[in-house]
Amino acid sequence: MNIDPVLAQLRIMPPQRASLLQKFHIDLPLMAGLGGLCTLAFIILYSSGGQDVNVLLRQAARLALAMVIMIAIAQVHPRRLKYYSPALYLLGVLLLTAVLIAGKISMGAQRWLDLGIIRFQPSELTKLSTPMMIAWFLSASTPPLRLKQLALAGVLMLIPTALIAKQPDLGTAVLVASGGSAVVFLAGIPWRYILVLAVLGGSLLPVGWHFMHGYQRDRVLTFLNPEADPLGRGYHIIQSKIAIGSGGIYGKGWLHGTQAHLEFLPERSTDFIFAVFAEEFGLVGCMSLLGLYLFVLGRCFYIVVQAQDKYSRLLAGALTVTFFVYVFVNVGMVIGILPVVGVPLPLISYGGTSMVTLLTGFGMLMSVQTHRKLLPNG
Query: Is 27 or 124 the residue whose CB approaches other proteins more closely?
Result: 27
* Interaction of residue 224 with other proteins, rule CB under 8 A: no
Q: Is 25 left (phi over 0), alpha (psi -120 to 50) or beta?
A: left
Closest CA to 163 of 99, 75, 221: 99
Cα end-to-end span (Å), the chain: 25
* Interaction of residue 137 with other proteins, rule CB under 8 A: no
Helix axes 122-138, 78-102, angle to 10 degrees: 140
Which range touches other proteins (CB under 8 A), out of 173-181, 200-208, 282-290, 354-362?
Answer: 282-290
Q: Which of 122, 179, 234, 282 binds other proteins (CB under 8 A)?
A: 282
Q: Which of 132, 276, 278, 348 binds other proteins (CB under 8 A)?
A: 278
Query: Is 29 or 352 the residue whose CB approaches other proteins more closely?
Result: 29
Nearest-approach distance from CB 235 to other proteins, in angstroms: 9
Q: Which of 317, 342, 361, 363 binds other proteins (CB under 8 A)?
A: 317
Give residues 284-303 in contact with other proteins (rule: CB under 8 A): 286-287, 290, 294, 297, 301
Whole-number Cα distances in Å, 117 to 69, 120, 372: 18, 9, 37
Q: Which of 157, 170, 182, 340 binds other proteins (CB under 8 A)?
A: 182
Query: Is 298 or 352 the residue whose CB approaches other proteins more closely?
Result: 298
Which range touches other proteins (CB under 8 A), out of 52-60, 80-88, 172-180, 319-327?
Answer: 319-327
DSSP character at residue 375: S
Give residues 227-256 in contact with other proteins (rule: CB under 8 A): 239, 241-249
Query: Is 58 or 233 the residue whose CB approaches other proteins more closely?
Result: 233
Q: Which of 105, 199, 337, 374 binds other proteins (CB under 8 A)?
A: 337
Q: Which of 29, 86, 332, 351 binds other proteins (CB under 8 A)?
A: 332
Q: What are phi and psi of 168, to 5 degrees?
A: -105, 140
Whole-number Cα distances in Å, 201 to 193, 198, 215: 12, 5, 21
Q: Which of 40, 128, 176, 331 binds other proteins (CB under 8 A)?
A: 331
Measure the CA angle with vertex 164, ends 159 and 169; round to 5°. 155
Look at the chain and count its residues. 378
**Parallel/antiparallel/unpaired status of strands 104-106 and 119-120:** unpaired
Instruction: Let me know: does 316 contact 87? Beta carbons within 8 Å.
Output: no
**Size, binding site for other proteins by CB under 8 A:** 44
Which range touches other proteins (CB under 8 A), out of 71-79, 213-221, 283-291, 349-357?
Answer: 283-291
Letter string b/e over residues 341-378, b meaning 16 or more CB atoms within 10 A of that residue's CB: bbbbbbbbbbeebbbbbbbbbbbbbbbbbbbeeeeeee
Closest CA to 78 of 378, 329, 377, 370: 370
Query: Is 215 or 250 the residue whose CB approaches other proteins more closely?
Result: 250
What is the Cα–Cα distance from 346 to 357, expressed in whole angstroms?
10
Bond from prior residue into 168 cis (ω within 30 degrees of 0)? yes
* Interaction of residue 336 with other proteins, rule CB under 8 A: yes
* Interaction of residue 349 with other proteins, rule CB under 8 A: no
Query: Is 112 or 277 the residue whose CB approaches other proteins more closely?
Result: 277
In the sheet with 104-106, reading across from the earlier edge strand, the strands are 104-106, 109-114, 119-120
Query: Is 19 or 142 the residue whose CB approaches other proteins more closely?
Result: 142
Tell me which H or E stretch contains 113: strand 109-114
Using CB under 8 A, list all residues that contact other proteins. Answer: 142-143, 182, 185-186, 188, 239, 241-249, 258-259, 262-264, 278, 282-283, 286-287, 290, 294, 297, 301, 304-305, 310, 313, 317, 320-321, 324, 328, 331-332, 335-337
